[in-house]
Amino acid sequence: MGENGFSYKDAGVDIDRANSFIEKIRPLVKKAHRKGVLSNIGSFGGLFHLDIETYKNPVLVSTTDGVGTKLMIAHEMDKHDTVGIDLVAMNVNDLTVQGAEPLFFLDYIACGKIDTEKSVNIIEGIVKGCTESGCALIGGETAEMPGFYKDDDYDLAGFCVGVVDYEKVIDGSDIRAGDTIIGLASSGIHSNGYSLVRKALLKTAGFRLDSRLDELDEPLGLELLRPTRIYTKAILNLIKNVSVNGMIHITGGGFIDNIPRILPEPCQAVIQKNSWPIPPIFKIIQRAGQIEESEMYRVFNMGIGMMVIIHEEDVSDAIERLTFLGEKAYIIGSVSQRSQAGKPVIFE
């Protein structure tokens, strides 16, 4: 306590430490830059100039998301350099499925006490994610909230804005019976279903994060922290060269809840379950938790992080292009006419 009473630092908020953190991340943020950024980190608001000459009829697309309880794995592993990638990926992938190019990103970190090294690690991941997706990091907020969070705890949220020409918005309205569904491989679990992951693997099966399982090439904890794949650059290249009727980011809700979000009413997705390799981690989770197969497909991506729906005649061109761009692409199903009582998604 100071001579004249309590200070903010006495209450648990260290302004000097927060300012020191901002200075440390300034050079990092400069790496996630793109044309249009007008402001520097530390401004009251992030400024971005939209080049309206590039877009005839621009539509702004916005997303917001977090990383969820995957952060608990990062906390237990004391490894924080990948969750920032997850944060960006969950947002930019959602933008991409509507045909939008990500423009800028903002992050929000809430914590009990700012740990400069840990927070810098998080920002390094965010910068890497922004760089991978061609998105600028134009601002953010780190909120020190003692009493609300424990000293070591933190939560992340992200916000992203992208742009697409109105005539080029991809909303699924062009999907027709006979279209082909191409699946793009995920990098693993991505950032959904971790409450079930923790219950099945750590509580029920009793595995440790340093456990080495025969099916995995690395300790379990590192597998669980594998960052979400960012599909943005490959997808933006694809839609410039191939007519894409619809795209689906497989996040919370897995196959069962996400595919219907893009399908027109009379259509049905027919998924061929044996048409792509399912990563071992999903089989380990299912076995450990004795989880029904239908539940697995409703919670997890099962090895497919993104789906692209196109006309049959464009399939070869699309797969060749996606493969060249570094994606593992599989024909995983098709679109058919749905009967009045039929389900929007069926598996064969």
Position 33 scores a pLDDT of 81
Work out whether the CA dihedral 251, 257, 261, 263 comes out positive or negative. Answer: positive
Position 279 scores a pLDDT of 97
Element at 174 (helix H, strand E): none
Local confidence band at 73 (pLDDT 50, 70, 90 cut-offs): very high
Q: Output the DSSP codes for 78-128.
A: T--SSHHHHHHHHHHHHHHTTTPEEEEEEEEEEESS--HHHHHHHHHHHHH
Position 35 scores a pLDDT of 87
Cα distance between residue 164 and residue 241, in whole Å: 16
Q: State the chain's mean pLDDT as an integer.
A: 92
Work out whether the CA dihedral 202, 208, 209, 212 comes out positive or negative. Answer: negative
How confident is the model over 206-218, as a mean pLDDT? 96
Residue 46 sits at φ, ψ, to 5 deg, of -85, 130
Specify the 3-state DSSP secondary structure of 330: strand
N- to C-terminal Cα separation, the chain: 69
Contact 190, 86 (CB under 8 A): yes
Domains for the chain: give ranges and CATH numbers.
15-168 (3.30.1330.10), 180-347 (3.90.650.10)
Helix axes 83-96, 70-77, angle to 10 degrees: 160
CB atoms within 10 A of CB 262: 22
154-165 β-sheet, strand order: 58-66, 154-165, 101-111, 136-144
- Residues paired with 307 in a beta bridge: 183, 248
Amino acid at 271: I
How confident is the model over 197-205, as a mean pLDDT? 96
Where are any strands of DSSP class E within the chain?
58-66, 101-111, 136-144, 154-165, 180-185, 244-249, 267-271, 304-310, 329-337, 345-347
Residue 218 has pLDDT above 90, yes or no: yes
Helix axes 232-241, 116-133, angle to 10 degrees: 10
Reported pTM: 0.92
Residue 2 has pLDDT above 60, yes or no: no
What is residue 314's DSSP assignment? G
The string of pLDDT tens digits covering residues 111-149 is 999 898 999 999 999 999 999 999 999 988 989 999 999
Closest CA to 134 of 26, 30, 27, 232: 232
Cα distance between residue 107 and residue 91, in whole Å: 11
Rg (CA), the chain: 22
Residue 14 has pLDDT above 90, yes or no: no
Cα distance between residue 238 and residue 245, in whole Å: 12
Work out whether the CA dihedral 67, 69, 72, 73 comes out positive or negative. Answer: negative
The string of pLDDT tens digits covering residues 141-199 is 989 999 999 999 999 999 999 999 999 999 999 999 999 999 999 999 999 999 999 99
Local confidence band at 90 (pLDDT 50, 70, 90 cut-offs): very high
